[in-house]
Chain A
Amino acid sequence: MRSARRRTGGRLPAALVLPAVLGLAFLLVPLVGLLARAPWSTLPSRLFSASVGEALRLSLVCASLATVVCLVLGVPLAWLLARGDVPGRGVLRALVTVPLVLPPVVGGVALLFVLGRRGLVGQHLDAWFGVSLPFTTAGVVLAEAFVAMPFLVISVEGALRAADPRYEEAAATLGASRWLAFRRVTLPSILPGVVAGTVLCWARALGEFGATITFAGNFPGETTTMPLAVYLALETDPDAAIVLSVVLLLVSVGVLAALRDRWVSGPS
């Protein structure tokens, strides 16, 4: 970054500096405000209260499981979008990104209509297997995966497009099966993209609120993740909501710090 700046002379036009600084303040001041309002003296005791611990544990477990779901389904999907010889690939790629821009509440409603007790698929799950997904931890995982998977797919797809397919071809001419070439050649070459997508996906799943409360509901220990706990705490105990928010903020910053090679150091 620094070397790039030296090359362009290091001078931004004055007309860009003011809006840039305002933009920076707009994004950072609310976070500072949150920290300023935090009840630091009682923070440790609140932090280790049973309900916070329960919500945090559930959040971490669900976000991790959702990320596993996204990896298992999303990496092959990204491969299909980047390399697959399917008609209408551009349209497919656009559809995959829909959950990115869809309001999460809408995603939750859509999940209810498909996987709810009376949903297209859900009614059969209920009738044949006695499985009902709403109001369960599995429902939280599904809601989070629905919202977070596009982040992974886009990251991995970008990495696949940037990777040179000639190595795979070389592996194939040396007798490797397609599966072996994917595992031993393609996957290692796009690993940084997969890792970045995974972390981003996990962070998005951790912060998911709208789809979760709509599809999975809210019950302590089963479906009450941190964002839901924040929302309900705000109704009666704003200090508790702030403590929960600070925890989520710290976890999110920690995740981004883990990605520092990718973002904090600028484009490679």
Chain B
Amino acid sequence: MRPFALVVLLVLVGCGAPGSAADGRVTVFAAASLTEAFTELAEDFEAAHAGVDVVLNFAGSSALAQQIGQGAPADVFASASPATMDQVVAANATAAGPVTFARNRLEIAVPAGNPAGITGLADFADAEAKIALCAEQVPCGAAAKRAFEAAGVTPRPDTLEQDVKAVLTKVRLGEVDAALVYRTDVRSAGGEVEGIAFPGADDTVTDYPIAPLARARNADGARGFVAHVRSDRGRAVLAAAGFDAP
């Protein structure tokens, strides 16, 4: 019985530990497309604020909004679309009004060397070409839909992925000939993926709103991190990642 009780105790202590360190912790829920930029911004922020630990949770914006709505312990939410941020606002989960801190736009992504010779959106209607797009339920898919409607092209995708990083992976592995991803994703993939700008990409510009959250355990840290993202340094990091300034 004693060893068993000890195990139970250890498990309980283990589960409780994260909460006890909440004082210096800022938990940021951010859209998957912010992975590289926010990782760098978090390191900056930690370096400037001794004892502060920024915990980043990257996923699709809709999934994050759902989790926040269900009471997930987050201090800051940075979304890849105003619509998902609106869900969080509607749930009275924000501590202050969301502000747009960056903009992104779609770009055609092809594997290095562009083996299928993709030149523009019209190639997405080619049944021979392997095409990956985001599902319409997630922001990058909604933006892609606008792009195709504006261009008058009916795409023939082979797969509709659950987030933009999954689309990017299919391009990186060379499993698809072309995909539509954010310009920042093309840049994050380095030389493995080539980006092709297309006319009408302005129609695909999406705003990225950020807000501190009402249930934040670290309200000061949340406000501080939002300010850091909007500072000159934050803008520089975001611009280097391929984001447009709002």
Binding site for B on A (CB under 8 A): 15, 112, 116-118, 132, 134-135, 213, 216-220, 223, 231-236, 238
Count: A-B pairs, CB below 8 Å: 60
Report chain A residues within 8 Å CB of B137. 232-233, 235-236
Bound complex: CA A184 to CA B60 (Å): 55
Q: How many residues of B contact A (CB 8 A)?
A: 22
Report chain A residues within 8 Å CB of B62. 235-236
Mask of B145-175 contacts with A, CB within 8 angstroms, 1/0: 0000000000001111110001000100111
Q: How far is the CB of B59 from chain A (nearest CB, A)?
A: 11
Is the CB–CB distance between B157 and A112 below 8 Å?
Answer: no
Is the CB–CB distance between B66 and A217 below 8 Å?
Answer: no
Complex interface residues of chain B between 42 and 79 (CB less than 8 A to chain A) = 60, 62-63, 66
Residue of A nearest to B60 (CB): A235
29 contacts between A and B (CB under 8 A): A15-B1, A15-B4, A116-B173, A116-B175, A117-B175, A132-B130, A134-B175, A135-B130, A135-B158, A135-B175, A213-B161, A213-B162, A213-B166, A217-B132, A217-B158, A217-B159, A218-B135, A218-B159, A218-B161, A218-B162, A219-B158, A219-B160, A232-B137, A234-B66, A235-B135, A235-B138, A236-B62, A236-B137, A238-B66
Interface centre among A118, A213, A219, A238 (most CB of B within 10 A): A219
Interface centre among A135, A217, A219 (most CB of B within 10 A): A217
Is the CB–CB distance between A112 and B175 below 8 Å?
Answer: yes
Given A235-B63, A235-B138: A217 in contact with B174 (beta carbons within 8 A): no
Residue of B nearest to A216 (CB): B159
Is the CB–CB distance between A117 and B162 below 8 Å?
Answer: no
Interface centre among B60, B132, B173 (most CB of A within 10 A): B173
Bound complex: CA A39 to CA B215 (Å): 29
Report chain A residues within 8 Å CB of B60. 235
Q: How far is the CB of B136 from chain A (nearest CB, A)?
A: 9
Report chain A residues within 8 Å CB of B159. 134-135, 216-219, 223
Report chain B residues within 8 Å CB of A116. 173-175
Binding site for A on B (CB under 8 A): 1, 4, 60, 62-63, 66, 130, 132, 135, 137-138, 157-162, 166, 170, 173-175
Residue of B nearest to A217 (CB): B159
Report chain B residues within 8 Å CB of A15. 1, 4
Is the CB–CB distance between A118 and B160 below 8 Å?
Answer: no
Is the CB–CB distance between B162 and A231 below 8 Å?
Answer: yes
Report chain A residues within 8 Å CB of B66. 234-235, 238
Given A15-B1, A116-B175, A232-B162: A219 in contact with B157 (beta carbons within 8 A): yes
Bound complex: CA A216 to CA B160 (Å): 11
Report chain A residues within 8 Å CB of B157. 219
Bound complex: CA A219 to CA B138 (Å): 15
Q: How far is the CB of A13 from chain B (nearest CB, A)?
A: 9
Q: How far is the CB of B65 from chain A (nearest CB, A)?
A: 9
Q: How far is the CB of A15 from chain B (nearest CB, A)?
A: 6
Bound complex: CA A98 to CA B140 (Å): 36
Bound complex: CA A227 to CA B48 (Å): 44
Bound complex: CA A116 to CA B171 (Å): 12
Bound complex: CA A73 to CA B130 (Å): 31
Q: How far is the CB of A17 from chain B (nearest CB, A)?
A: 14
Is the CB–CB distance between A118 and B162 below 8 Å?
Answer: no
Bound complex: CA A220 to CA B158 (Å): 10
Q: How far is the CB of B143 from chain A (nearest CB, A)?
A: 15
Residue of B nearest to A231 (CB): B162
The 9 closest A-B pairs by CB, nearest first: A217-B159, A235-B137, A135-B158, A235-B62, A118-B174, A236-B137, A135-B159, A218-B160, A116-B175
Report chain B residues within 8 Å CB of A213. 161-162, 166
Bound complex: CA A15 to CA B5 (Å): 10
Report chain B residues within 8 Å CB of A235. 60, 62-63, 66, 135, 137-138, 162
